Structures are given as structure tokens and as C-alpha cells.
């Protein structure tokens, strides 16, 4: 029983990371109706940048801060330069561009930083008070960070004017423009936020799995699955889905199929759920008006 | 004339496969392709064979994605099904010319079996479900229980057939020409399907499923059937590729293959038949080209080329060709 | 009175199809001008062309003395043109109050927002009842009121109203137009009203323009237009 609880809590820790990345995916999806398949690789790249800054002598938190801000700016720039010009292109073509971005980030990271596995520090000291027999301080810290991001985003979108404006731009770009809202600027902001969240997710996961270019591929798949099982149009769903997938993955890996097959098993399970509830657990079944 | 059909569907390119070339031009094209068997040797011939195999698979994927509007990130799995079916059948001494259609049939069943329960999934949800396929299949192929059939991690080795009836062709040349023959056949089947009433039903479902249903089109039947047919094409392509490579193993059919196939469809042109050739050429040669340009970051180069292509031709190569054709037609 | 809006030789097209073939239009400050015409005449297109929204335009549009035909939709909104689009364009998933607050985006002074909110609720009591309700759950008439109130929150000098009576029951339409009359008297906003319902439009407006397949065929004071034979036959059913 104790190990079960332990596995669940460990699952919650990785779930927190999936939840963050899932949230980033849903945010961009809500604004643009595209899934940024390159989100994982962008997060990985950000983490490498943080690592390089730390290697160059910066303390953890300054490096963290610079990385987050830099990721924000870079993601906004990508939206402006690469994604926006294609807003009239067929949807699958945009998917191909995301694949292109994914591949570019992955390859360039390996090229600049090399492909050896590296350690990445955790900001939570190993003997911190909040660690315990069940979870390491970093795992607790990760869940805490995930919750902070979620709470922060919720407050931002629900209670600030800028958040309201961004929601409007995502929901109804036409009406927004008639009210003077610059939809393009809101899109850039949305992408920037997503990139920043991705960077945080990357820096939280790196101490667990060690840093290398392949670090985020599995994470992205889990995050995507989590977002879908929660309902792709629903930020709360993304978070719930992310945590759910984290726990599921860990339990499957520990008790049922072992680490090799856990991705397979998790995905099969998720798809089975989707067949029963095609819009996800919390997704809105959109009634199609003719 | 055909101008209206070219301008009518803006997102899906030219739906009617028949508008691109007259039968005479097609015959000339096939003759040129066949002559490659004489002029090219060894590795180049092998690459040409692979291009044809990929093209068949791309036609299948385009049938599902471009003409029926269902996305698949898992067609590598059906490609693998065809390849492995062929390998296993040939291991049981079934002759290749029989094994290939059987492999196609097996893939069709697999496609239908997947398409039917996945009917309610749309868009991204379907993308995830099909992606799951592409992840699951290599695992299944490596699974110990199936090893007696699949050869496990080691895979199965094949032998290319010799030319029949003592025709003086090397097995490489024969394999290429045989693949070419099958390719032409598959293209013909696809074209007839697209231009038929079934094809119209399939496209109607893509454009507006609710309206199609209200006109009496059983979308469940057609959508699962399209999955099956599309998987059959991928399976035939996979079988032919297995013959060319003379080897199947789980690692040849990772999720990367599924992604490549989707990229191939986009580059060639979604909802076009001839785009498959261009897409197959892209899949086959651009990774190699990228590696020549930069050893260390070959994939970065690949990504840049891909993005530039999408910018230059958002509707794929066929989209560009059609745009040029329209402008010359309008000028006349 | 200074001319608020002066439109000369306005052409507008969707893609390659030209819909407006050179129209002239004037709106004076404090005026209500109505643009009448049948379906497909180009009325909605005219309003969109003024805001450079989803159409290509050419010709000259002068607003408060400045040429605006090249400006972006967002810039034009910020200059003080409030556009209530056809179909209302409310943010369905957001509450009534959130919709109204979004209307403030373009305005220069953000200080009096709370007072203005109260004023909108005063004009449209039904909105006040439903202030926390999701806009998508409102009736058609209430959504129209919300769209108008939202546009007014931006404190526009010129309000563009696209077919406010569309799809609404006659009593609801009467209700809305009564409120419009009150707004017209109390606020300093000029109105360019596009309507198929010529009768009720002519009751509110000072001047009217008649649009037929992209051209202005008649214009003049409402009284004159109401008594014009051609207008009466075609649009008033008399």
C-alpha cells in the first residue's frame, strides 16, 4: 500500500510537468486551432540554454529567469515570423511546418550542445524540509511549481484585462479586431507564454531524466495525450489530463508492463477512453449547427 | 472546361485526378520510367524502386487525408503490416506475386478494423489514435510472443525474386519494373475510385459530413472503408519496399516513418494524385541531401528545407503546378 | 456642423469580385443616416469597407477630417468608429459583463468605465439582470442589445449598426429602436444604420440612402424618402 501511494505521488510529479506542457499546447490551440508539435523540442532547447548559462557561472535562479524571458521572446518571434504568414495555408501544411520546427530544434540542440547526457541541477536542495520518505524535494517542488503556474495563468486570464483581451482574440478574432484589439499581438503573447511555460517544464523535468536532446519527446507525447484526454479546448482539462497521464504512466510502468512498454500501454488506454468519450473527459461536445 | 474544377476547391487542390495528363502523356511517362531500368544501376535503381513504393503508400494516405479528411499519423504501421505480411508469407514459400496482393488485403482488413472503432474520433483525437498505432506496432513486432512469426528484433531476411520466364534482366531490374507495373495499377485503381460515385461520396464526407449524411451517404461505412483502402495501398507499398530492401525489422517502421509519410503528402499536395510522386521523391532524397549539406545537423537542414517548401508552396508541388496551369489557361 | 464622415467613390471587393461600384455617402455630426436596400445590395459590405474589415477597398473615406481608407481595422476602431457587425459578434463563451468590458479596449480614457457600465445597464436593464450570464445563452434580442452596448462602451463618435432587426420579433425590434432613439438623444454619437426593415429605419433616421447592387440610386431626407413612390413600392410595400 505504501509503495502504491509512493508511485501515485511520483506519478503526480511527472504529471505536473505533463500538465504544464499540456497547458501550453491547449493555450496555443485555443488561440490558433493549431497544436504546436514543436513545443517539447523548444522546451528542451530552452533547458539547454539554461544549462549553458549555469555552466558559464550564473546561479540557478538568474539563469532560470533569463531562460524563461528569452523563451518568451523567442516563441513570440517564431509566431510572428513563421506561423502567422501561413494563416491562410491548409492545416496539414502548418502541421508540416511544426514538424520542421521540431526537427530543427532537436538537431540544432545536438549540434550546439552535443548529445551526451548531462546533469541538470534542481533548485530544491536535497535535504529540504518538504522532502520525505514518499517524495524527493524536487518532486514536491515540481508539483508546487506546476500548481503555481496553473494558478497564475488562471488569475491572469480570468482577472486581468490583458488576459480577457487574449481570450477574446482567441475566441473571436473578427469581433476583436472591430473592437480595436490587435489579434496578431495577442497571438504573439500567447505563443510567448506557451514558450515560457515550456521552458519551465523543461527545467523541472531535466533533473529527473537528465538533459539530452531526446529529453522531451516522450514528455510531449504524454502532454499531448493528457491534453486530449482532458479535452483539447479546455485548460482545466489539460491540467487534469496531464496529472492523470503522469500517474497512469507511472502505475503502468511499475505494476503492469514495465518501462519499455509503458508508453504503448498508456497510449492504448487513452485511445480506448477517447473512443468511449470522443471529446475527452472534460471536453465540450460541440453541437454542430448546420 | 476544367478551369472551374481547378479554381473550385481551394483547399484541396485538384480533386479530379484525370485533369492532369492525357493518357498519351502518361504512357510516355511510364515508358521513360521503365527505361530507367536500363540506364540506372544498383543503388540508384534501388532508390527508384523505393520511391515508387513510397508513392503507392502516399496515394493511400492522401486518399484518407486529402480526399476523405481523416488525418493519420500512423500509416507507417500499415506500411509495416504489408511489409511483414509479405516477409512472413514468402517465408512460408508463397510466391511473391501472390504474397503482395494478400499483404495488401491483410493491410486493408487491419485498416478497416482500426477505422471502424475510431469513427467518432476527429481531427487531433484521430491524430493521437493513429499515432498510437505507429508507436505500438514496433513494440508488437519486437514482442517475444510473436517472435516465431516476426523474427523479433532481428527481423526477417528476404530474397529478391529473379525475372520469370528467363527474361534477361537482373533481379534488381526486374524488381524495379515489377514495382513500376504495380504502381501504375494502383494509380489506375485510385483514379477510378476518386472519379467514381464512391469517390464523390468520400469527398462529400470530407467537405461536410452532416450534409453528406442527409443526402443518404452512410458516412460510417465510407469512412471505415476509406481507412481500409488507404491501408491497403500503404500495405502494398510496404510489401514492395520489403522486396526491394530484402529485409524487414521493427526498427525500419518507427513513428518517424508515419511522420515522413504525412510530410510527403503535404509536400506533394493534399488531395492530389500525382503529388504522391513528388512527395515520395522528397521523402527518399531530401534526408540524404540534408546530410550532404551538413553532417552534424542534417535534420536541421531537412527542417529548414521543409519549412521553405511549405512557404513557397503551401498547397504542395501540385498546388504550384496547378496555379501555373491556371495562369496559362487564363492568359489563353 | 462639421462633417463627421465623408465617403467618395468607394469601391469594395471580396477577392476578385467587386461588390461596391463607387458610392458617395455623408454623415454629419449628431445625425442618424440609414442605408437601405435589398439582400445582396452591398449594405454590409459598405460598413465593412468603412472599417477595412474583410474587404479590399478603394476610394476616399474621410473621418473627422482624416483619410482612413488605408488604415487597419484596429486603428479605425481606435479612432472612434464602433461597428456592431451583422450576426452580432458577441463573445459567446464570455459573460455579459466581460463582453462589455472588452468594448472599452479602444477608448482613450479608461477612468469612467464603471460609470459607463452602469449607464449601459440603465439603457438595457435586461443586460443588467444577466450580467454574469454567458453571452451565448442570451436570446437574439438580448445579444443584439449586448452588441450595441459593447460598441457604445468604446465611446465612439460614429456607430455603425448592421441590420439590428435581423431575426428578431417585431416587439423586440421596437424595444431596441426605442432605446436607440434615447441613446441618440443623450449620447453624442452619430449613427450609420444599415437595415432591410425600411419602415422602422426611416422612423429613426434623418437621412436615407438607397443602395441597389452596389450603387446609390437615391438619397435624401427620410421624410422625402418615405414619400418617394419607388421606395414605397419596393421597400415599404405600399
**CATH number reported for the structural domain that contains residue A202 in this entry:** 1.10.3470
List residues bridging with C67 in a β-sheet. Answer: C62
pLDDT at residue A285 in the model: 58
Please tell me the distance from the alpha carbon of residue B162 to that of residue A102, in angstroms, as a whole number.
43
Chain B contact for A35 (CB, 8 A cutoff): yes
Between C195 and C235, residue with greater pLDDT: C195
- Judged against a pLDDT cut of 70, whether residue B203 lies above it is answered with yes
In this structure, are residues A282 and A231 in contact, taking their beta carbons and an 8 Å threshold? Answer: yes
pLDDT at residue B20 in the model: 59
Please give the average per-residue pLDDT across A57-77, as a whole number. 95
- Judged against a pLDDT cut of 50, whether residue B167 lies above it is answered with yes
Q: Kindly state whether residue C23 falls inside one of the protein's structural domains.
A: yes
Q: Which of A252-261, B76-85, B170-179, C69-78 has the lowest mean pLDDT?
A: A252-261
pLDDT at residue B8 in the model: 33
**CB atoms inside a 10 Å sphere around CB A200:** 25
Number of structural domains (chain C) is 1
For residue C71, the Cα-to-chain-centroid distance in whole angstroms is 19
- To test the contact with chain B by mutation, choose from A99, A213, A238 the residue with the greatest count of B C-beta atoms within 10 A, namely A99
Q: Where are the beta strands (DSSP E) in chain B?
A: 156-157, 247-248
> In this prediction, what percent of chain B has a pLDDT beyond 70?
93
pLDDT at residue B321 in the model: 87
3-class DSSP assignment, residue B156: strand
- Judged against a pLDDT cut of 80, whether residue B22 lies above it is answered with no
Please tell me the distance from the alpha carbon of residue C96 to that of residue C94, in angstroms, as a whole number.
7
Q: Kindly state whether residue A266 falls inside one of the protein's structural domains.
A: yes
- Judged against a pLDDT cut of 90, whether residue B49 lies above it is answered with yes
In this structure, are residues C163 and C44 in contact, taking their beta carbons and an 8 Å threshold? Answer: yes
- Judged against a pLDDT cut of 70, whether residue B5 lies above it is answered with no
Question: CA of A163 to nearest chain B CA: how many angstroms apart?
Answer: 26
Where along chain B do its domains lie? 3-331
Please tell me the distance from the alpha carbon of residue A86 to that of residue A81, in angstroms, as a whole number.
10
3-class DSSP assignment, residue B301: helix
Q: Kindly state whether residue A32 falls inside one of the protein's structural domains.
A: yes
Chain C contact for A236 (CB, 8 A cutoff): no
Query: How far, CA to CA in Å, does B67 sit from each of B118, B122, B187, B199, C131?
Result: 18, 15, 15, 8, 46
- Judged against a pLDDT cut of 70, whether residue A290 lies above it is answered with no
- Judged against a pLDDT cut of 50, whether residue B36 lies above it is answered with yes
- Confidence grade of residue B48 (pLDDT, cut at 50, 70, 90): very high
**CB atoms inside a 10 Å sphere around CB C217:** 13
Question: CA of C133 to nearest chain A CA: how many angstroms apart?
Answer: 15
Chain A contact for B223 (CB, 8 A cutoff): no
Close Cβ partners of A176 (under 8 Å, ≥ 6 residues apart): A165, A168, A169, A183, A186, C102
In this structure, are residues A281 and A273 in contact, taking their beta carbons and an 8 Å threshold? Answer: yes
Chain A contact for B146 (CB, 8 A cutoff): no
* A165, A177, A179: residue with CB nearest C154: A179
* A107, A224, A290: residue with CB nearest B297: A107
**CB atoms inside a 10 Å sphere around CB B236:** 32
- Judged against a pLDDT cut of 70, whether residue B6 lies above it is answered with no
Answer yes or no: do A274 and B11 touch at CB < 8 A: no
Query: How far, CA to CA in Å, does C13 sit from each of B326, C19, C61, C163, C214?
Result: 22, 5, 15, 20, 10
pLDDT at residue A180 in the model: 94
Beta-strand pair C81-84/C32-37: unpaired
User: In chain C, which residues have their Cβ closer than 8 Å to the Cβ of A172?
Assistant: 89, 91-92
Burial of C108 (0-12, 13-18, 19+ CB in 10 A): exposed
Q: Determine the structural domain holding residue C213 and report its residue range.
A: 3-92+157-235
Please tell me the distance from the alpha carbon of residue C12 to that of residue C31, in angstroms, as a whole number.
24
3-class DSSP assignment, residue A118: strand
- Confidence grade of residue B332 (pLDDT, cut at 50, 70, 90): low
What's the topology of domain B3-331? Answer: ABC transporter involved in vitamin B12 uptake, BtuC (1.10.3470)
Task: Read off the C-alpha cell for C182.
Answer: 434615447
With touching defined as 3 or more inter-chain CB pairs under 8 Å, the answer for chains C and B is no
Q: What are phi and psi of B128, to 5 degrees?
A: -65, -45
Answer yes or no: do B300 and A96 touch at CB < 8 A: no
User: In chain B, which residues have their Cβ closer than 8 Å to the Cβ of A107?
Assistant: 297-303
Please tell me the distance from the alpha carbon of residue B274 to that of residue B194, in angstroms, as a whole number.
13
Answer yes or no: do A108 and B300 touch at CB < 8 A: yes
Residue of chain A whose Cα is closest to the Cα of C52: A178
List residues bridging with C193 in a β-sheet. Answer: C34, C161
- Sign of the dihedral defined by the CA atoms of residues C87, C91, C95, C100, in that order: negative
Task: Read off the C-alpha cell for A128.
Answer: 529540504
Q: Kindly state whether residue C117 falls inside one of the protein's structural domains.
A: no
Q: Kindly state whether residue C222 falls inside one of the protein's structural domains.
A: yes
- Judged against a pLDDT cut of 70, whether residue C68 lies above it is answered with yes
- Judged against a pLDDT cut of 70, whether residue C1 lies above it is answered with no
Close Cβ partners of B324 (under 8 Å, ≥ 6 residues apart): none
In this structure, are residues A230 and A239 in contact, taking their beta carbons and an 8 Å threshold? Answer: yes
CB pairs under 8 A between A and C: 58
Please tell me the distance from the alpha carbon of residue C91 to that of residue A166, in angstroms, as a whole number.
12
> In this prediction, what percent of chain C has a pLDDT beyond 90?
70
3-class DSSP assignment, residue C20: strand
Answer yes or no: do C94 and A181 touch at CB < 8 A: no
Could you identify the residue written with the cell 476544367? B2
Answer yes or no: do C89 and A172 touch at CB < 8 A: yes
Please tell me the distance from the alpha carbon of residue A111 to that of residue A104, in angstroms, as a whole number.
10
pLDDT at residue B197 in the model: 84
Helix (H) or strand (E) holding C21: strand C17-28
pLDDT, tens only, B245-291 = 999 999 889 888 999 999 999 999 988 888 999 999 999 999 989 88
Please tell me the distance from the alpha carbon of residue B204 to that of residue B68, in angstroms, as a whole number.
8
pLDDT, tens only, C139-149 = 999 999 999 99
pLDDT at residue B17 in the model: 46
pLDDT at residue C174 in the model: 92
- Judged against a pLDDT cut of 90, whether residue B30 lies above it is answered with no
Q: What does the angle CA A42 – CA A46 – CA A52 come to, to the nearest 5 degrees?
A: 145
- Where residue C183 sits, what CATH number does that domain have? 3.40.50.300
3-class DSSP assignment, residue C3: strand
Query: How far, CA to CA in Å, does C124 sit from each of A178, C70, C129, C183, C223?
Result: 22, 35, 9, 11, 29
With touching defined as 3 or more inter-chain CB pairs under 8 Å, the answer for chains C and A is yes
pLDDT at residue B159 in the model: 84
Answer yes or no: do A168 and C102 touch at CB < 8 A: yes
Residue of chain C whose Cα is closest to the Cα of A180: C74
Please tell me the distance from the alpha carbon of residue C194 to that of residue C43, in angstroms, as a whole number.
6
pLDDT, tens only, C164-179 = 999 899 999 999 999 9
Please tell me the distance from the alpha carbon of residue A38 to that of residue A71, in angstroms, as a whole number.
13
pLDDT at residue B1 in the model: 33
Q: What is the dihedral of CA C166, C171, C172, C176, to 10 degrees?
A: 100
Q: Which of A23-37, B179-193, C162-176 has the lowest mean pLDDT?
A: A23-37
- Confidence grade of residue B112 (pLDDT, cut at 50, 70, 90): very high
pLDDT at residue B2 in the model: 31
Q: Kindly state whether residue C228 falls inside one of the protein's structural domains.
A: yes
- Confidence grade of residue A286 (pLDDT, cut at 50, 70, 90): low
In this structure, are residues C160 and C192 in contact, taking their beta carbons and an 8 Å threshold? Answer: yes
Chain A contact for B121 (CB, 8 A cutoff): yes
Q: Kindly state whether residue C139 falls inside one of the protein's structural domains.
A: no
Please give the average per-residue pLDDT across A250-257, as a whole number. 84
Q: Determine the structural domain holding residue A13 and report its residue range.
A: 2-115+125-276
Q: Which of A261-265, B55-59, B177-181 has the lowest mean pLDDT?
A: A261-265
pLDDT at residue C238 in the model: 60
* A90, A106, A264: residue with CB nearest B314: A90
Number of structural domains (chain A) is 1
Please tell me the distance from the alpha carbon of residue A253 to that of residue A262, in angstroms, as a whole number.
5
Task: Read off the C-alpha cell for C215.
Answer: 450603387
Please give the average per-residue pLDDT across B112-126, as a whole number. 86
3-class DSSP assignment, residue B271: coil
In this structure, are residues A242 and A227 in contact, taking their beta carbons and an 8 Å threshold? Answer: yes
In this structure, are residues B68 and B202 in contact, taking their beta carbons and an 8 Å threshold? Answer: yes
Q: Kindly state whether residue A265 falls inside one of the protein's structural domains.
A: yes
Helix axis angle, C113-123 relative to C140-153, nearest 10°?
Answer: 150
Task: Read off the C-alpha cell for A224.
Answer: 499531448
Long-range contacts for B97-103 (Cβ within 8 Å, ≥24 apart)?
A: B99/B239, B100/B182, B100/B236, B100/B239, B100/B240, B100/B243, B101/B236, B103/B235, B103/B236, B103/B238, B103/B239
- Confidence grade of residue A177 (pLDDT, cut at 50, 70, 90): very high
Please give the average per-residue pLDDT across C14-42, as a whole number. 91
pLDDT at residue A186 in the model: 93
Chain B contact for A259 (CB, 8 A cutoff): no
Beta-strand pair C66-67/C56-63: antiparallel
Chain C contact for A180 (CB, 8 A cutoff): yes
- Confidence grade of residue B19 (pLDDT, cut at 50, 70, 90): low
Q: Kindly state whether residue A289 falls inside one of the protein's structural domains.
A: no
Residue of chain A whose Cα is closest to the Cα of B296: A111
Q: Which of B146-155, B308-317, C53-62, C197-206 has the lowest mean pLDDT?
A: B146-155
pLDDT at residue A262 in the model: 82
What is the ipTM metric for this complex? 0.92
**CB atoms inside a 10 Å sphere around CB A272:** 12
Amino acid at each position: 500500500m505504501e509503495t502504491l501511494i509512493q508511485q501515485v505521488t511520483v506519478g503526480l510529479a511527472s504529471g505536473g510537468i505533463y500538465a504544464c506542457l499540456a497547458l501550453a499546447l491547449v493555450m496555443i490551440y485555443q488561440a490558433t486551432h493549431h497544436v504546436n508539435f514543436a513545443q517539447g523540442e523548444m522546451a528542451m532547447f530552452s533547458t539547454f540554454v539554461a544549462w549553458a548559462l549555469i555552466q558559464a557561472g550564473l546561479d540557478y535562479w538568474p539563469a532560470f529567469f533569463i531562460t524563461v524571458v528569452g523563451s518568451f521572446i523567442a516563441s513570440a518571434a517564431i509566431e510572428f515570423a513563421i506561423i502567422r504568414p501561413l494563416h491562410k495555408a491548409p492545416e496539414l501544411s502548418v502541421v508540416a511546418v511544426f514538424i520542421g520546427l521540431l526537427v530543427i530544434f532537436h538537431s540544432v540542440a545536438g549540434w550546439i550542445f552535443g548529445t551526451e547526457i548531462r546533469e541538470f541541477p534542481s533548485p530544491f536542495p536535497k535535504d529540504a524540509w518538504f522532502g520525505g520518505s514518499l517524495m524527493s524535494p524536487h518532486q514536491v517542488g515540481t508539483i508546487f511549481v506546476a500548481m503555481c503556474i496553473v494558478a497564475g495563468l488562471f488569475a491572469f486570464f480570468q482577472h486581468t484585462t490583458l488576459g480577457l483581451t487574449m481570450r477574446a482574440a482567441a475566441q473571436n478574432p473578427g469581433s476583436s479586431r472591430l473592437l480595436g484589439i490587435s489579434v496578431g499581438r495577442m497571438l504573439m503573447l500567447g505563443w510567448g507564454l506557451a514558450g515560457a511555460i515550456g521552458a519551465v517544464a523543461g527545467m523541472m523535468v531535466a533533473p529527473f531524466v537528465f538533459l539530452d536532446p531526446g529529453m522531451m519527446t516522450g514528455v510531449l507525447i504524454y502532454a499531448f495525450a493528457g491534453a486530449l484526454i482532458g479535452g483539447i479546448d479546455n485548460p482545466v482539462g489539460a491540467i487534469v489530463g496531464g496529472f492523470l497521464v503522469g500517474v497512469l504512466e507511472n502505475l503502468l510502468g511499475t505494476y503492469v508492463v514495465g518501462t519499455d512498454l509503458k508508453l504503448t500501454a498508456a497510449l492504448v488506454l487513452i485511445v480506448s477512453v477517447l473512443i468511449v468519450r470522443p471529446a475527452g473527459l472534460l471536453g465540450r461536445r460541440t453541437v454542430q449547427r448546420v | 472546361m476544367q478551369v472551374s474544377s481547378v479554381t473550385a476547391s481551394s483547399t484541396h487542390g485538384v480533386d479530379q485526378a484525370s485533369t492532369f495528363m492525357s493518357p498519351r502523356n502518361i504512357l510516355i511517362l511510364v515508358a521513360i520510367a521503365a527505361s530507367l531500368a536500363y540506364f540506372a544501376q544498383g543503388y540508384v535503381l534501388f532508390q527508384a524502386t523505393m520511391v515508387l513504393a513510397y508513392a503507392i503508400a502516399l496515394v493511400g494516405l492522401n486518399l484518407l487525408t486529402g480526399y476523405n479528411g481523416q488525418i493519420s499519423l500512423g500509416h507507417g504501421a500499415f506500411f509495416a503490416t504489408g511489409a511483414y505480411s509479405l516477409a512472413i508469407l514468402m517465408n512460408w514459400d508463397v510466391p511473391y506475386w501472390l504474397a503482395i496482393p494478400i499483404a495488401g488485403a491483410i493491410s486493408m482488413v487491419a485498416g478497416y478494423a482500426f477505422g471502424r472503432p475510431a469513427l467518432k474520433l476527429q481531427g487531433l483525437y484521430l491524430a493521437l489514435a493513429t499515432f498510437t498505432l505507429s508507436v505500438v506496432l514496433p513494440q508488437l513486432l519486437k514482442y517475444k510472443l510473436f517472435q516465431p512469426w516476426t523474427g523479433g528484433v532481428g527481423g526477417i531476411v528476404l530474397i529478391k525474386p529473379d525475372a520469370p520466364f528467363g527474361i534477361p534482366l537482373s533481379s534488381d531490374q526486374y524488381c524495379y519494373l515489377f514495382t513500376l507495373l504495380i504502381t501504375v495499377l494502383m494509380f489506375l485503381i485510385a483514379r477510378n475510385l476518386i472519379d467514381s460515385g464512391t469517390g464523390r461520396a468520400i469527398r462529400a464526407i470530407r467537405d461536410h459530413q452532416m450534409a453528406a449524411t442527409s443526402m443518404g451517404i452512410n458516412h460510417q461505412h465510407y469512412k471505415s472503408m476509406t481507412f481500409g483502402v488507404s491501408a491497403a495501398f500503404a500495405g502494398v507499398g510496404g510489401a514492395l519496399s520489403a522486396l526491394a530492401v530484402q529485409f524487414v525489422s521493427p526498427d525500419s517502421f518507427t513513428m518517424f516513418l508515419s511522420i515522413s509519410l504525412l510530410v510527403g503528402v503535404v509536400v506533394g499536395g493534399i488531395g492530389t494524385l500525382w503529388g504522391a510522386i513528388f512527395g515520395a521523391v522528397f521523402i527518399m532524397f531530401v534526408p540524404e541531401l540534408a546530410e550532404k549539406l551538413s553532417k552534424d545537423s542534417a535534420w536541421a537542414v531537412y527542417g529548414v528545407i521543409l519549412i521553405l517548401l511549405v512557404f513557397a508552396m503551401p498547397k504542395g508541388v501540385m498546388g504550384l503546378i496547378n496555379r501555373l496551369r491556371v495562369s496559362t489557361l487564363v492568359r489563353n | 456642423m462639421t462633417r463627421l464622415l465623408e465617403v467618395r467613390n468607394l469601391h469594395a471587393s471580396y477577392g476578385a469580385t467587386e461588390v461596391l461600384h463607387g458610392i458617395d455617402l455623408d454623415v454629419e455630426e449628431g445625425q442618424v443616416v440609414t442605408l437601405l436596400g435589398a439582400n445582396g445590395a452591398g449594405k454590409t459590405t459598405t460598413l465593412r469597407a468603412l472599417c477595412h474589415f474583410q474587404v479590399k477597398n478603394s476610394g476616399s473615406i474621410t473621418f473627422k477630417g482624416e483619410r482612413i481608407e488605408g488604415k487597419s481595422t484596429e486603428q479605425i476602431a481606435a479612432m472612434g468608429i464602433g461597428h456592431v457587425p451583422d450576426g452580432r459578434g458577441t463573445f459567446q463563451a464570455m459573460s455579459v459583463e466581460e463582453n462589455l468590458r472588452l468594448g472599452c479596449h479602444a477608448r482613450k480614457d479608461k477612468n469612467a468605465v464603471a460609470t459607463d457600465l452602469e449607464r449601459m445597464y440603465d439603457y438595457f436593464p435586461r443586460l443588467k439582470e444577466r450580467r454574469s450570464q454567458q453571452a451565448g445563452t442570451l436570446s437574439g434580442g438580448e445579444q443584439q442589445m449586448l452588441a450595441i452596448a459593447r460598441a457604445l462602451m468604446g465611446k465612439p463618435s460614429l456607430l455603425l449598426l448592421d441590420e439590428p432587426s435581423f431575426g428578431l420579433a417585431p416587439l423586440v425590434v421596437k424595444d431596441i429602436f426605442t432605446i436607440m432613439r434615447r441613446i441618440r438623444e443623450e449620447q453624442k454619437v452619430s449613427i450609420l444604420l444599415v437595415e432591410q426593415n425600411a419602415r422602422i429605419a426611416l422612423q429613426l433616421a434623418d437621412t436615407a440612402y438607397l443602395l441597389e447592387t452596389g450603387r446609390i440610386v437615391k438619397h435624401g431626407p427620410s421624410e422625402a424618402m418615405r414619400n418617394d413612390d419607388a421606395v414605397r413600392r419596393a421597400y415599404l410595400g405600399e
